[in-house]
Amino acid sequence: MNEKLVIFDTTLRDGEQSPGAAMTKDEKIRIARQLERLGVDVIEAGFAAASPGDAESIRAVATIIRNSKVCSLARAFERDVRAAGEAIRPATQDGHAGGRIHTFIATSPIHMEKKLRMQPDQVMEAAVNAVKLALEYTDDVEFSAEDAVRSEMDFLCHVFEAVIAAGATTINVPDTVGYSIPVLWGERIRELIQRVKYADRVIWSTHCHNDLGMAVANSLAAVMNGARQVECTINGLGERAGNASLEEVVMAVKTRRDVFHCDSRIDTTQIVPSSRLVSQITGYPVQPNKAIVGANAFSHESGIHQDGVLKFRETYEIMRAEDVGWSHNKLTLGKLSGRNAFRTRLSELGIVMESEEALNSTFARFKDLADKKREIFDEDLHALVSVDGGIDTCDRFKLVSLKVCSETGETPHAFLVLSDGGAEIRADEFGGGPVDASFRAIEKMVESGSTLLLYSVNNITTGTDAQGEVTVRLSRDGRIVNGQGADTDIVIASAKAYLNALNKVFGAGERAHPQV
């Protein structure tokens, strides 16, 4: 009988710490619903003390999600733990899978001395107090020793013993800076489990960053040495080089059950849809050669490989594409589809419209798209609601119209009309190309003074009538945001993406970073 491996997804918290990946409440709810469908055990929905908006998003996720536990991160301080406890409260009610508080404090000499400016005994006391306080809100309390990788073993054991005695139920061992290598990480986990008193009363967890490209390998080494929870994110999103990628961890454990002797409750056919949704919402594209979810992950180029696969699939395939959800990209709707079919398909995809008005406006945009594009796929529907800016009626800037004159030998010239909080403004500008001219015209009106860090275009589906999905990354006053836009006309998609980024630049309030 295999043991259970708990999958703790932190896309909405650590994943959101990727530059520019900040998500709105609606976006978090959509991802949370997909994570629930995917079958993750725990959804870390955010860091409640970061801002009132973050707390509100966690509360909303905790209210809606029923089949996964919902968790908030909290530094080991009273204010943070109380904010987390309040935010997850709906998940602790009957009919829900439960609410977790994940409290943490750094235990390495470098972090204690230089960042926290605390003595080890003060850190120990803060950790114990935070766990005790968290237990007033929920009986599911996780404790993490930040920078465990560079912490002294004896001290780490003492802290873990103290928080287990205080009532922590999960002990997480993070490689916060992505410094370890599999053999050492496995040994560290094994030693902790052997040395810490009452280690058998808790679930041991690992949380690995990918700075040296070993987050997944280190997480798997931890599993081989007794960890029974892995913290991970969809597409490996996360602070700096990211976290362990959920899809890689899950498929490694499933494909090599002979080695890991563990099972997760993940519905692997939901992996590709989850990857697509997170990529669309955050604007972080998935590289084509990314394991499991990259466009090329199951395509065979070489003649020898193709021949082998045709003769007997397992010659070159260790997993089946359909098992991770690649066959899910089915043709869904067309020009003649009605409002009910549209609503049903959205709800099958986990997209719930907040109001009839939102449904009507999205349906109208769907009809516009169906006029331009014969076949509408699931990916188009996701783009329609997530990157088109259509349902977020609070946006300050909206594109009213765009015209670009572009011909050989002439300088491209863009004419734009925007709505700025309801008032129409207009400008025209020349540029190096139609997109450049459009962005210059927008800046002429808005004067944001932002720096363009990234501009990328991807086709959402195949064919020349496919929608182009554009990501624009802007930086202003030290803040980085991503904007997305989609349209069958990539100049329009680009203008929408630029405006989407500007709405975030002007809209988002101050948030605290959990690890500062």
Are the C-beta atoms of 34 and 325 separated by less than 8 Å? no
Nearer to ligand KIV, 75 or 373 (CB): 75
Size of the site for Zn ion (CB under 5 A): 1
46 binds ligand KIV (CB under 6 A): no
CA dist 25 → 32, 53, 498 (Å) = 10, 8, 21
Give which of Zn ion, ligand KIV, none residue 146 binds (C-beta under 5 to 8 Å, depending on kind).
ligand KIV
Nearer to Zn ion, 175 or 469 (CB): 175
- Minimum Å gap between C-beta 286 and ligand KIV is 22
Please identify which residue in 9, 14, 16, 469 interacts with Zn ion, judged by CB under 5 A.
14
Please identify which residue in 176, 362, 438, 482 interacts with ligand KIV, judged by CB under 6 A.
176
207 binds ligand KIV (CB under 6 A): yes
Tell me the DSSP string of 267-282.
Answer: -GGGHHHHHHHHHHHH
Judged by CB under 6 A, the stretch of 52-60, 92-100, 172-180, 343-351 that binds ligand KIV is 172-180
CA distance 441 to 431: 9
The contact pattern for ligand KIV, residues 145-164, with x = CB under 6 A and - = no contact, is -x------------------
Residue closest to Zn ion, measured at CB: 14
CA distance 21 to 18: 5
CA distance 456 to 22: 18
Are the C-beta atoms of 372 and 488 separated by less than 8 Å? yes
Give which of ligand KIV, Zn ion, none residue 382 binds (C-beta under 5 to 8 Å, depending on kind).
none
Taking CA 515 as the corner, what is the angle to CA 7 and CA 243, rounded to the nearest 5 degrees? 35
The contact pattern for ligand KIV, residues 19-38, with x = CB under 6 A and - = no contact, is --------------------
Residue 377 gets which letter from DSSP?
E
Please identify which residue in 144, 245, 280, 438 interacts with ligand KIV, judged by CB under 6 A.
144
Judged by CB under 5 A, the stretch of 13-21, 164-172, 337-345, 397-405 that binds Zn ion is 13-21
- Minimum Å gap between C-beta 511 and Zn ion is 16
Q: Three-state SS for 72? A: strand
CA distance 381 to 164: 47
Total residues found in the chain within this entry = 516
Judged by CB under 6 A, the stretch of 92-100, 112-120, 169-177, 432-440 that binds ligand KIV is 169-177
CA distance 137 to 451: 44
- Minimum Å gap between C-beta 209 and Zn ion is 6
Are the C-beta atoms of 427 and 437 separated by less than 8 Å? no
Please identify which residue in 174, 283, 412, 431 interacts with ligand KIV, judged by CB under 6 A.
174
The contact pattern for ligand KIV, residues 100-129, with x = CB under 6 A and - = no contact, is ----x-------------------------
231 binds Zn ion (CB under 5 A): no
- Minimum Å gap between C-beta 355 and Zn ion is 36
Judged by CB under 5 A, the stretch of 10-18, 72-80, 270-278, 381-389 that binds Zn ion is 10-18
- Minimum Å gap between C-beta 204 and Zn ion is 17
Strand partners, 47: 73
Q: Which residue has the tokens 């006309």?
A: 489
Sign, CA dihedral 264-268-270-272, equals positive
Sign, CA dihedral 50-51-55-57, equals negative
At 106, which helix (H) or strand (E)? strand 99-106
What are the structure tokens assigned to 221, written together? 């080494």
Size of the site for ligand KIV (CB under 6 A): 11
CA distance 238 to 245: 9
Q: Which amino acid is at 383?
A: A
- Minimum Å gap between C-beta 514 and ligand KIV is 6
**Which residues contact Zn ion by CB under 5 A?**
14
**Which residues contact ligand KIV by CB under 6 A?**
14, 73, 104, 144, 146, 172, 174, 176, 207, 209, 514
